Every structure is written in structure tokens, then in C-alpha cells.
Amino acid sequence: MTAPEPSPYPWARVSAWWATRRRLARMATALDAMPEPTRTVFVMRLFDGLPCARIAGKLDLAPREVEAHIAAAIMLLANAARGQADTG
């Protein structure tokens, strides 16, 4: 697989950069708005690198609940990245 050729139009790169910034801003807003304990579980897993079993023990949750919270967080962030509202 080869890298795409750079666009001859400088504004295309700037436009892509702004689109990425908007997408990241939506994702940050979604992370801040996540319900608890979904946000805490996701942060502990992604940013602290804790395994699901350890998160479950710390938060007094079943390991399957931790997995469900992680899946919910990923869906919320994916929807935010696409600019879609939370579909609950």
C-alpha cells in the first residue's frame, strides 16, 4: 500500500487539518459527557492501562460490566467522531 500523493492545493491540507480538529473536539466533548461509571472505566482502561479484571475489582463491578462500559464508551466516541448524536 502506498501513501496518497499530497494534494496540489494547500487549502485541502488546511481543510483536512480543521476537520480533524473538529472531530477531536467532538470526541473530547463526548468523553466529558459520558455517564459514570462508563467514563471512569474507559479512562482506567485506555489511559491508565489497567486490565478489565483490575478495573472490576477497584470499582466493584463484574468483569462483563467493565467490558460493556468500554464497548459503550467506544460507541459514544465513534458516533462523536462521525458527528452523530448519542443514539442511546
Share of the chain above pLDDT 70, in %: 86
At 42 the pLDDT is 96
pLDDT tens track for 26-68: 889 999 999 999 999 999 999 999 999 999 999 999 999 999 9
The reply to whether 73 falls in a domain is: yes
Whether residue 62 lies inside any domain: the answer is yes
Is residue 15 within 8 Å of residue 73, measured between CB atoms?
A: no
For residue 78, tell me if it sits in a domain: yes
In a domain, 30, yes or no: no
The dihedrals phi and psi of 37, each to the nearest 5 degrees, come to -90, 10
Distance between CA atoms of 82 and 47, rounded to whole angstroms?
Answer: 22
Residue predicted with more confidence, 58 or 7 = 58
Q: What confidence category does residue 83 fall into, taking pLDDT thresholds of 50, 70 and 90?
A: confident
Q: What is the pTM assigned to this prediction?
A: 0.74
